[in-house]
Structure 1
Amino acid sequence: MSFNPHSDQSKHGSAERERVVVVAPGRGCYNKTELGYLVKYHADKKQLVESIDHFRAKQQQAAISELDQAKKYSFKLHTPGENASALIYACALADFMDIDQSRYEVVAVTGNSMGWYIAMACADALSQPNAIEVINTMGSMMADGLIGGQIIYPVMDAHWQVNSQAKKAVEQVIHQVSQIDGCELYLSINLGGYQVIAGNEAGLSQAVELLPSIDDKYPLRLYNHGAFHTPLMQDISQRGQELLPVHLFQAPTIPMVDGRGHLWYPLSTDIRQLHQYTLRNQVVEPYDFTRAIQVAVKEFAPDKVIVLGPGNTLGGATAQSLIDINWFAWADKASFSTAQVKQPQLISMGDEAHRHLITQRHFVT
């Protein structure tokens, strides 16, 4: 038996509920401050956690319950894909289950990078057993060694307004480095006010040299991240397609917005195309999170946008994506911050101050 996060969705009249778009996070969201997230917020989700632990035990992998309750956070233990992916999936899906559906109608789901797999689980395009199989399999593909890496670089000003010239400068660096013999460099993710760039070691080294330093922090190398969403992942994509057959996928019960801004509706989803996009296109092509967010709010006009935990690393990028189109009348960081104090419309479940706004559940202190 598995959890069905949609089981009571039809019991409540949508006219009385606020419309929400739900956003699932990617790989970099379970950090030191999130240690113990599952046991703190989701002690009631034993069946979910045990089902994931049971699956991973068969793969001779660490239990997520043990990872979450470790005495100390470890980069070596918590950040590799084979552990981080399953752990983040459990936290995010459990958060999704906690959304009070008597007050909120989930009108669409989307996500960033690995968050696409989680979004499919939330929308029931992957059943719970199939979701952990897909997520754990794809997350474990580079357990024997990373292929390339990623760096993140800001392309916005202090007001969180995207600077088109800065974006062009990054594009020029990518083009320039790509012309150098032995270097591979690509845009990996368009992430609100940031660009995530991926490539081989030679390409990344050149990019770090060419990109102007910002605040003595950027360009920032993302620890234990491979060259996701680039042609360097061709072999990973092929293996994924071989190991994860089409029958694991099904039509969603909630509309989904993918990393191109493409819409997948419950009554018109072609399962083979969904399988192909998930295991081929988005694995080897850039992921446009900014476009996914902007399409989601334009198409579904939500009252609020909810970002699932763990952590709140995706909150800024989501806000920046919305500021870029003046959504919710947010023109810059200041207007966003002022509006959030008065009446929050971007809710981050990884933020304790926000959780109570959308869930009635209590958590362990």
Structure 2
Amino acid sequence: MKAVVVCPGRGTYGKGELGSLLRHHAGKADLLASYESVRAEAGQESLADLDGAARFDMARHTRGDNASALIHAMTVADTMDLAGVEVVAVTGNSMGWYSALAVAGALAPVEGFRLANGMGARMQAALIGGQLVYPHMGDDWRPDPARKAELLALVADIGARPGHAFALSIDLGGMLVLAGNEAGLAAFEAAVPKAGQFPLRLPNHAAFHTGLQAPVAAEGRAAFLGLPWQQPALPMIDGRGEIWWPRSADLGRLADYTLGHQVVAAYEFTHAIAVAAREFAPDVFIVTGPGTTLGGAVAQSLVLAGWRGMTSKDDFMARQAEQPILVSMGREDQRGLVTG
């Protein structure tokens, strides 16, 4: 069974995920010890204390310096449990790109953790701007390109106003993740109708993937361009939909993208999934833990791509019921499908 592995980004380690790292991966002592050494060197709280806490604390667990480390550790450890599948490519959402680098072998596991942990800490320390989420698809997941274009035009208009910084952060399936300064965020919230809980501000999130992150990108380049980058063992699909092939990747360009464009420009996750589907024709997409929230964005992205003739949520659900084409390792009822 051919599989594309999808690595989740920030916001996927929540109350329901507390304890999941130690529950599933306590046996990977060497891997976790290498991660803990990075945390200790930086004077940060241990993963064991965070994951083993008696209760989930929003302020503590969603901080960039903590959330990035927990999510990256869970993602990489999950991929080590895969069995009965042939991984043909790896991609990720936002911070998940750092995890994809480690999963594919472009960075050794501890170096991938050093990158994810370090960039998370720098973004948390700066905490420039904020993010919100707003849908452009209805509950039926039928593509509405006119609605999406209308929203993106509004985003561009707001971003061009004096004193306003506002832009697309992540094209995430049926959702637009938007980011900017307070003036930009507030202007968008005032301009669009409420749609259930949306527009929804994301706590402890900065204006990721926008020009506001240029200072963080500069810090990241100074700290991590010199990591021991290596040829990936698996194809990687980045946030532009570009494929980095094994044995032929330009490592200098890879490092430059990771610590440049990937930090300060919009992340086209929807396009990355479409490229993965069309170029690698997998039997299944596997979303690693923690959490399950990225599964919906993957499914919506496949519908938007018209993969296997799907044009709605009903089409996806029918295919999923017939033979799973999407497995979320954060779901206990699905994890065993790909771990043997």
**Coarse TM-score class (shorter-chain normalised):** over 0.9
Identical columns (%): 46
CA contact (8 A) 1:246 1:271 kept: no
CA contact (8 A) 1:35 1:69 kept: yes
1:277 is matched with which residue?
Answer: 257
Structure 2 alignment gaps of length 5 or more: none
1:185 aligns with 2:166: yes
2:293 is matched with which residue?
Answer: 313
Deviations 1:222-266 (A, max 9, x none): 111100100001111111111112442111000000000001001
Given the alignment, which residue of 26, 41, 61 partners 1:43?
26
Q: 1:321 to 1:143 in 2, by over 3 A?
A: closer
CA contact (8 A) 1:161 1:193 kept: no
1:63 is matched with which residue?
Answer: 46
Deviations 1:70-102 (A, max 9, x none): 0000011100110000110111111111100xx
Separation in structure 1 between the aligned mates of residue 86 and residue 145 of structure 2, nearest angstrom: 35
* Residue-pair matches, total: 340
Separation in structure 1 between the aligned mates of residue 308 and residue 76 of structure 2, nearest angstrom: 26
1:207 is matched with which residue?
Answer: 188
1:108 is matched with which residue?
Answer: 89
2:181 corresponds to which letter in structure 1? N
Separation in structure 2 between the aligned mates of residue 176 and residue 144 of structure 1, nearest angstrom: 30
CA contact (8 A) 1:23 1:306 kept: yes
Between 127-136 and 321-330, the greater mean CA deviation after superposition: 321-330
1:10 is matched with which residue?
Answer: none
1:72 is matched with which residue?
Answer: 55
Give the ranges of 4+ consecutive aligned residues of structure 1 lying more than 6 Å apart after TM superposition. Answer: none
1:158 aligns with 2:125: no
Separation in structure 1 between the aligned mates of residue 305 and residue 183 of structure 2, nearest angstrom: 36
Separation in structure 1 between the aligned mates of residue 309 and residue 238 of structure 2, nearest angstrom: 25
RMSD: 1.1
1:91 aligns with 2:74: yes
CA contact (8 A) 1:173 1:211 kept: no
Deviations 1:299-349 (A, max 9, x none): 111111111110011000000000112223432111211222221110110
1:22 aligns with 2:16: no
TM-score (norm. length: structure 2): 0.98
Separation in structure 2 between the aligned mates of residue 114 and residue 232 of structure 1, nearest angstrom: 16
Between 349-358 and 170-179, the greater mean CA deviation after superposition: 170-179
Q: 1:143 to 1:247 in 2, by over 3 A?
A: closer
Deviations 1:133-164 (A, max 9, x none): 11111010033341001101100022112311
1:12 is matched with which residue?
Answer: none
Q: Secondary structure at the match of 1:322?
A: helix
CA contact (8 A) 2:130 2:182 kept: yes
Deviations 1:20-75 (A, max 9, x none): 10000001100111111112222212222221111101111000111011000001
Structure 1 alignment gaps of length 5 or more: 1-17, 361-365
1:225 corresponds to which letter in structure 2? H
TM-score (norm. length: structure 1): 0.91
Q: Secondary structure at the match of 1:142?
A: helix
Aligned ranges for residues 258-269 of structure 1 at < 5 Å?
258-269=238-249
Between 38-47 and 87-96, the greater mean CA deviation after superposition: 38-47
Separation in structure 1 between the aligned mates of residue 163 and residue 151 of structure 2, nearest angstrom: 19
2:129 corresponds to which letter in structure 1? G
1:136 is matched with which residue?
Answer: 117
